[in-house]
């Protein structure tokens, strides 16, 4: 089939979707109607998880229109073109291959004269071998002592994803006796970030992972110098404490400044790189290569569901379609990601970059302005903390904000306590169940200050426990959701030109090549 790339507002099925009668969420989610919806509006995900969309503003008529939209927009065909190695990143004229880091979904993909699946698995094997040698004490510090801490130096996708994944699995690894090394992260060019981390670790027993695809990232190289100074001041040889994750063509690739170098390529954007060497090095050192392999397996299983043409068997596509309906037909400007799991405390921050850097575009993939809104504002915090923060606006504010809950039946640690007849985990789960219904159904009160209008849509992904496989599946779900939404909006979800202008101007400031407002701001900040 010939693939065509058309703007959303030119699709007949989108016009049909815009004219479908809107769902009264309060009505359909109240009483017996709501009970039936919750039972029936659920799609299986990988690793025993489920995407429940009962509290989203969908019914059979809307669903039929969404199905037509998926077909007319050729979502599965475009995904197939992506994983078979077509140039989907049109802005940079690149393939998009992050799915290949965790499995072969289609044909062999050959680029730069090599089979890319083999390239990624070779890097994983090299990282596994290195990590095993570190854990076994075959690679040590100068004194012959084992490394006990790993520190990742990177920014953006080289920090947010790997950090979120590490924090998600840290307690699980402790209980399952797979925490090999504690991990820390340095990202911000603010010197307090690097200094704060360095003051909490024993640098003599620490190995540092420098992550920069180009080998020229200003913040990362600045922090590397910061770390090298600390090692030098401690009388240590920095080259015996640092490894690099970079491209094969970067200046870091064959440098004697590093114990080892592991490679990524231009076909994986930073925000999609947690399953590449970017996440692989730090997570394999922290938890062991076997745990990282399980994480990849979970992502691979969820990726397979993204191939399904049946929207009701493709949770990421369904989530994407509903999100576009809420954004472009119902006019909701933002989405809150609300994991009811402390393990996922930094997961919303990662999804913020994943979504907003991918689909925060105002031109289509051909550089032409679009006449409709695209990516929403993404924000979030873990529950129940968020309930005591911004839920006031979500319940009673003037904007309706769609909500994406994530909840797990069981906690990660062996410890819990019964208080007032229920455990802490039961209280956590009770809160997320209550919030879904409260947002959807509301509560009438003659006192307008205590009135809840309801009609606030949400979905929930439910799993048994946060572990490497469910975390991989969860990551894949959101990566693929963002991809499908980019296809629908006809934008290029895989470049990020919007981050470049500030970098260029910052270099001018540091070179004192400024005038106008830029010079005055520079003077005000004593640069």
pLDDT at 254: 85
What is the rounded average pLDDT of the residues 200-228?
Answer: 93
For the record, the structure tokens of 408 come out as: 């797990």
Strand pairing report for 458-463 and 403-408: parallel
Res 1 pLDDT > 80: no
pLDDT at 114: 96
Q: Which of 145, 503, 507, 513 is catalytic?
A: 503
| Axis-axis angle for helices 289-305, 468-489 (nearest 10) | 40
What is the rounded average pLDDT of the residues 473-486?
Answer: 98
pLDDT at 278: 98
pLDDT at 502: 86
In this structure, which long-range contacts are made by residues 75-82, counting pairs with CB atoms below 8 Å and at least 24 apart in sequence? 75/317, 75/320, 75/484, 75/487, 75/488, 76/307, 76/308, 76/309, 76/314, 76/317, 77/1, 77/3, 78/3, 78/487, 79/306, 79/307, 79/480, 79/483, 79/484, 79/487, 80/106, 80/307, 81/3, 82/483
pLDDT at 382: 97
Assess whether 170 carries a catalytic annotation: no
d(CA 304, CA 104) in angstroms, rounded, equals 10
What is the rounded average pLDDT of the residues 39-55?
Answer: 98
Decide: 34 and 437 in contact? Cβ < 8 Å. yes
Mean pLDDT over the full length of the chain: 96
d(CA 409, CA 168) in angstroms, rounded, equals 15
pLDDT at 308: 98
Decide: 394 and 336 in contact? Cβ < 8 Å. yes
pLDDT at 214: 85
Helix (H, G, I), strand (E, B) or coil at 419: strand
Decide: 430 and 384 in contact? Cβ < 8 Å. no
What is the rounded average pLDDT of the residues 46-57?
Answer: 98
Closest CA to 323 of 173, 481, 472: 481
pLDDT at 499: 82
Assess whether 174 carries a catalytic annotation: no
Q: Which of 388, 409, 427, 450 is catalytic?
A: 388
Q: Which of 47, 80, 302, 357 is catalytic?
A: 357
Strand pairing report for 458-463 and 50-52: antiparallel
Contacts of 44 (CB under 8 A, 6+ apart): 50, 313, 315
Assess whether 503 carries a catalytic annotation: yes
Q: What is the model's pTM? A: 0.97
Res 460 pLDDT > 90: yes
d(CA 124, CA 292) in angstroms, rounded, equals 9
pLDDT at 217: 83
Q: pLDDT-derived band of residue 445, with 50, 70 and 90 as boundaries?
A: very high
Q: pLDDT-derived band of residue 427, with 50, 70 and 90 as boundaries?
A: very high
Res 516 pLDDT > 90: yes
Q: pLDDT-derived band of residue 378, with 50, 70 and 90 as boundaries?
A: very high
Instruction: Give per-residue pLDDT as tens, 255-305.
Output: 899 999 999 999 999 999 999 999 999 999 999 999 999 999 999 999 999
């Amino acid at each position: 089939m010939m693939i065509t790339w058309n703007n959303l507002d030119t699709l007949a099925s989108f016009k049909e979707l815009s004219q479908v009668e809107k769902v009264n969420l309060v009505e359909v989610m109240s009483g017996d109607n709501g009970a039936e919806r919750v039972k029936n509006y659920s799609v299986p995900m990988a690793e025993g998880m489920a995407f429940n969309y009962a509290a989203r503003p969908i019914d059979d008529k809307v669903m039929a229109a969404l199905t037509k939209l998926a077909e007319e927009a050729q979502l599965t065909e475009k995904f197939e073109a992506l994983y078979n190695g077509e140039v989907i990143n049109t802005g940079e004229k690149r393939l998009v291959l992050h799915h290949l880091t965790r499995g072969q979904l289609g044909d062999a993909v050959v680029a730069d004269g090599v089979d890319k699946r083999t390239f990624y698995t070779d890097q994983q094997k090299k990282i596994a071998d290195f990590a095993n040698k570190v854990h076994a004490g075959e690679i040590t510090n100068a004194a012959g002592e084992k490394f006990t801490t790993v520190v990742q130096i990177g920014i953006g996708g080289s920090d947010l994803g790997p950090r979120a994944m590490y924090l998600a699995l840290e307690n699980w690894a402790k209980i399952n006796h797979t925490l090999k090394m504690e991990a820390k992260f340095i990202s911000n060019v603010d010197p307090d970030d690097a200094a704060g981390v360095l003051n909490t670790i024993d640098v003599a027993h620490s190995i540092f992972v420098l992550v920069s695809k180009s080998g020229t990232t200003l913040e990362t190289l600045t922090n590397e110098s910061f770390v090298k100074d600390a090692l030098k001041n401690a009388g240590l040889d920095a080259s015996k404490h640092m490894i690099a994750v970079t491209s094969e063509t970067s200046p870091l690739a064959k440098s004697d400044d590093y114990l080892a170098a592991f490679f990524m390529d231009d076909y994986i954007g930073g925000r999609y790189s947690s399953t590449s060497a970017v996440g692989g090095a730090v997570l394999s050192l922290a938890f062991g290569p076997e745990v990282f392999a399980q994480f990849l397996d979970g992502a691979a299983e969820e990726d397979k569901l993204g191939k399904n043409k049946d929207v009701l068997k493709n949770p990421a596509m369904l989530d994407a379609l509903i999100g576009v309906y809420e954004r472009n037909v119902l006019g909701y400007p933002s989405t809150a990601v609300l994991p009811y799991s402390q393990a996922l405390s930094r997961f919303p921050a990662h999804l913020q970059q994943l979504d907003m850097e991918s689909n925060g575009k105002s031109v289509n993939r051909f550089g032409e302005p679009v006449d409709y809104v695209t990516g929403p504002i993404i924000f979030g915090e873990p529950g129940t903390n968020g309930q005591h923060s911004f839920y006031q606006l979500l319940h009673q504010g003037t904007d309706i904000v769609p909500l994406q809950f994530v909840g797990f039946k069981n906690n990660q640690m062996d410890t819990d306590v019964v208080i007032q007849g229920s455990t802490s985990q039961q209280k956590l789960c009770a809160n997320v169940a209550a919030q879904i219904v409260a947002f959807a159904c509301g509560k009438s009160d003659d006192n307008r200050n205590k009135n809840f209008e309801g009609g606030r849509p949400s979905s929930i992904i439910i799993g048994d426990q946060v572990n490497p496989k469910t975390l991989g599946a969860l990551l894949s779900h959101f990566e693929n959701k963002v991809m499908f939404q980019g296809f629908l909006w006809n934008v290029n979800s895989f470049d990020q030109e919007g981050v470049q202008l500030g970098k260029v101007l910052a270099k001018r400031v540091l070179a004192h090549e400024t005038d106008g407002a830029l010079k005055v701001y520079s003077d005000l900040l004593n640069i």
